[in-house]
Amino acid sequence: MRDYFRRISYFSTLAWPIAIALLIAFLAVTHPHWPRGWCIAAFLAALIVLPGVLLALKLGSTPIVKEKVVFLWGRAPGIIVVRRENGEEDRFYHREIFAHFVEGKIKEGDLLSLHLLDKDIVSWEKL
């Protein structure tokens, strides 16, 4: 189950609830003898509650990875380039680290500890 929610896209966490809500609306229209209150409640739950539940499961199953990287340089506003421990270079978007680079608090070659959720920096610290 955890692997499934780790693999699904963020788009799927919104597309599935919309499809389910449309199915509920279609069934409510084609079956007029069903209670309208229950159909409306199910429709709203599919549009409001289900995306939140799926997004929480997606974020809860995605691990936060801690990596030590070497800061190489900053590019356009917010883009930073780092070298991972295996030697490959990677780009991230993080305005706070870029601002520290512009101010001179972080220099090329500084060692950083990044906490990554997928490919986003959740938190960081200078080592």
Question: What does the block give as tokens for 43?
Answer: 């429709």
What is the CA 47 to chain-centroid distance, rounded?
20
Q: Is the pTM of this model over 0.85?
A: no
- Which structural domain, as residue segments, surrounds residue 96? 64-126
Q: Is residue 9 located within the same domain as residue 37?
A: yes
* pLDDT score, position 78: 86
Q: Three-class SS of residue 73?
A: strand
Distance of CA 114 to the CA centre of its chain: 16
CATH of the domain at 71: 2.40.50.140
At 43-102, the pLDDT tens digits run 999 999 999 999 999 888 888 889 999 998 888 788 999 999 998 999 999 999 998 888
- Looking at the structure, tell me whether residues 33 and 54 fall in a common domain: yes
In terms of domains, do 76 and 119 share one? Answer: yes
* pLDDT (0 to 100) of residue 75: 80
Q: What is the largest CA-CA distance in the chain?
A: 70
pLDDT at 115: 92
Tell me the CA distances in angstroms from 44 to 13, 75, 83, one per residue in order: 16, 45, 47
Using a pLDDT cut of 70, give the percent of the chain over it.
100
Residues 16 and 39 in one domain: yes
pLDDT of residue 3: 83
